[in-house]
């Protein structure tokens, strides 16, 4: 049995595990083999042959289209369903045809409701912020709802006209400034969707001994959708994790009842006892605060659109697109797809200069997800060493004072050699 499976809410991982992978288009063919070699070596060093990964290629994107005439063959979906976990390189977005985005199709089909993006800084990597060592966040972006549901109508179409007529005639809406020329979009945000996302974020904070969870929202303007997300998030924290959390809504209640000093004392007591502080922040303020005081934030739980902006800003603060890993996860079923967060980079494809670290750090996330920490730690330590010495691909090395630009394969070999020392 080489498949990961779920038993009573827990992942069961065999020592010889099969992991389906999508090589990816463009630079995918360069980064995927480099990452697999590093991971294989790290697993071998950590477990001395007791554990291993068997990589099983499945097709998607341009390569799939060339070989099968389909962008996302059913066999690929079936492999992800069956093996629970998988990893993917970047995919070309098909132009025309039925599929809007392969990534969205994968996420929707497996109901991967968490987009997890850990953001940390590696010493040596040049950052636009003064104290990048203070950036250590874990973004939980809701992946299935919000304005990303794709429910929208273009201005001038009969559908947009009909939708506006419904708003005006049935709902008494009078606030559309230019109704004749407006496009319309719908933003669904549900209790279940919000709660399962926040629940996962709090569980993650507990498992990783992290100090806080911040609910990032625009509830000051969008009271029922984003405001609902905040309210339901606090409900999950208090009703399901009351023993382990202290929330800012509790703080506000205590402040009203007992005064600010006593409320602060209660919070300090909860923090001393190792409870997780659950707080909230309005998204625009959050984007400023993360630049000014990133140390105030640890786990972030947010809606889909906010999460998109937040992920990119935070990634830029620690070195940008070539080094930001990600995963799409359903913690209830265990399904998880780890992925390079950048695109196919056609402008540098085939030149042996692409940075493999986004996919490599996603592989590290995969190892952590299946509980193979000893292998994960080796890779992270090897990266720390390489970056500390200025050894990196050109996208990072060019900004390092001691930068030594390396080709993708050369960098991969360097990391393999550093694993032994780790």
Residues that bind ligand NAD (CB under 6 A): 90-93, 103, 321-322, 339, 342-348, 354-355, 358, 395
Residues 6+ apart with CB under 8 A from 24: 31, 32, 61, 88, 89, 90, 91, 340, 344, 359
As a whole number of angstroms, the distance between CA 304 and CA 283 comes to: 12
Residue closest to ligand NAD when measured from CB atoms: 343
Residues 6+ apart with CB under 8 A from 406: 391, 392, 393, 394, 397, 414
- DSSP letters of 129-180? SS-GGG-EEEEEEE-S-GGGG--EE-TTSHHHHHHHHHHHHHH-----SSGG
113, 148, 204, 234: which is the annotated catalytic residue? 148
Question: CB count, 10 Å around CB of 187?
Answer: 18
In the complex, the smallest distance separating the C-beta of residue 377 from ligand NAD, rounded to whole angstroms, is 23
Our CB check for ligand NAD shows the closer of 321 and 422 to be 321
In the complex, the smallest distance separating the C-beta of residue 52 from ligand NAD, rounded to whole angstroms, is 27
401 conformational bin, left if phi > 0, alpha if psi -120 to 50, beta if neither: alpha
Residues 6+ apart with CB under 8 A from 388: 123, 124
In the complex, the smallest distance separating the C-beta of residue 89 from ligand NAD, rounded to whole angstroms, is 8
Instruction: For tokens 């976990």, name the residue.
Output: 85
Task: Judge whether 284 counts as a catalytic residue.
Answer: yes
Our CB check for ligand NAD shows the closer of 31 and 189 to be 31
Our CB check for ligand NAD shows the closer of 348 and 376 to be 348
Beta bridge partners of 153: 184
Instruction: For tokens 């006209």, name the residue.
Output: 161
As a whole number of angstroms, the distance between CA 318 and CA 364 comes to: 17
In the complex, the smallest distance separating the C-beta of residue 67 from ligand NAD, rounded to whole angstroms, is 18
Our CB check for ligand NAD shows the closer of 179 and 343 to be 343
Nearest CA-CA partner of 357 in 405, 411, 410, 314: 411
Our CB check for ligand NAD shows the closer of 276 and 361 to be 361
Nearest CA-CA partner of 305 in 137, 144, 116: 144
308, 309, 312, 414: which is the annotated catalytic residue? 308
In the complex, the smallest distance separating the C-beta of residue 53 from ligand NAD, rounded to whole angstroms, is 22
Our CB check for ligand NAD shows the closer of 179 and 407 to be 407
Structure letter (DSSP) for residue 7:
E
Task: Judge whether 308 counts as a catalytic residue.
Answer: yes
111, 284, 296, 312: which is the annotated catalytic residue? 284
In the complex, the smallest distance separating the C-beta of residue 39 from ligand NAD, rounded to whole angstroms, is 17
Structure letter (DSSP) for residue 69:
S
As a whole number of angstroms, the distance between CA 22 and CA 90 comes to: 9
In the complex, the smallest distance separating the C-beta of residue 102 from ligand NAD, rounded to whole angstroms, is 7
88, 187, 218, 279: which is the annotated catalytic residue? 218
Our CB check for ligand NAD shows the closer of 321 and 381 to be 321
By annotation, the residues acting in catalysis are 148, 218, 284, 308
């Amino acid at each position: 049995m080489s498949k990961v499976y779920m038993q009573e809410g827990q992942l069961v991982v065999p020592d010889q595990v099969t992991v389906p992978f999508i090589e990816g288009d463009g630079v995918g063919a360069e980064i995927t083999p480099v990452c697999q070699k590093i991971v294989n070596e790290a697993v071998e060093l950590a477990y001395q042959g007791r554990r291993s990964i068997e990589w099983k290629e499945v097709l998607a994107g341009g390569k799939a289209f060339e070989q099968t005439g389909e962008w996302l063959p059913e066999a690929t979906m079936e492999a992800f369903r069956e093996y629970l976990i998988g990893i993917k390189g970047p995919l070309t977005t098909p132009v025309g045809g039925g599929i809007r985005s392969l990534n969205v199709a994968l996420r929707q089909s497996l109901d991967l409701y968490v987009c997890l993006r850990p953001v940390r800084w590696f010493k040596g990597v040049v950052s636009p912020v003064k104290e990048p060592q203070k950036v250590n966040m874990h973004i939980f972006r809701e992946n299935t709802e919000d304005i990303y549901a794709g429910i929208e109508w273009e201005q001038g179409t009969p559908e947009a006209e009909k939708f506006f007529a419904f708003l005006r005639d049935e709902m008494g809406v009078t606030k559309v400034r230019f109704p004749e020329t407006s496009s319309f979009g719908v933003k669904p945000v549900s209790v279940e969707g919000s709660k399962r996302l926040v629940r996962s974020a709090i569980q993650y904070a507990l498992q990783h001994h992290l100090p806080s969870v911040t609910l990032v929202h625009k509830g000051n303007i969008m009271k029922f959708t984003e405001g609902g997300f905040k309210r339901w998030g606090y409900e999950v924290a208090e009703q399901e994790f009351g023993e382990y959390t202290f929330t800012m809504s509790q703080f506000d209640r205590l402040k009203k009842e007992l005064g600010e000093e006593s409320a602060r004392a209660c919070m300090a007591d909860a923090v001393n006892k190792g409870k997780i502080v659950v707080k909230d922040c309005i998204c625009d303020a959050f984007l400023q605060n993360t630049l000014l005081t990133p140390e105030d934030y640890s786990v972030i739980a947010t809606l889909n659109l906010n999460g998109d902006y937040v992920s990119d800003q935070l990634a830029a603060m620690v070195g940008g697109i070539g080094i930001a890993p990600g995963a799409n996860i359903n913690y209830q079923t265990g399904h998880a797809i780890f992925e390079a967060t950048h695109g196919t980079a056609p402008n540098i494809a085939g030149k042996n200069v692409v940075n493999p670290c986004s996919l490599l750090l996603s592989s590290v996330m995969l190892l952590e997800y299946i509980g193979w920490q000893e292998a994960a730690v080796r890779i992270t330590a090897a990266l720390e060493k390489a970056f500390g010495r200025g050894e990196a691909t050109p996208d990072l090395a060019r900004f390092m004072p001691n930068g030594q630009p390396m080709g993708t394969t050369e960098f991969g070999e360097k990391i393999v050699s550093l694993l032994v020392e780790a």
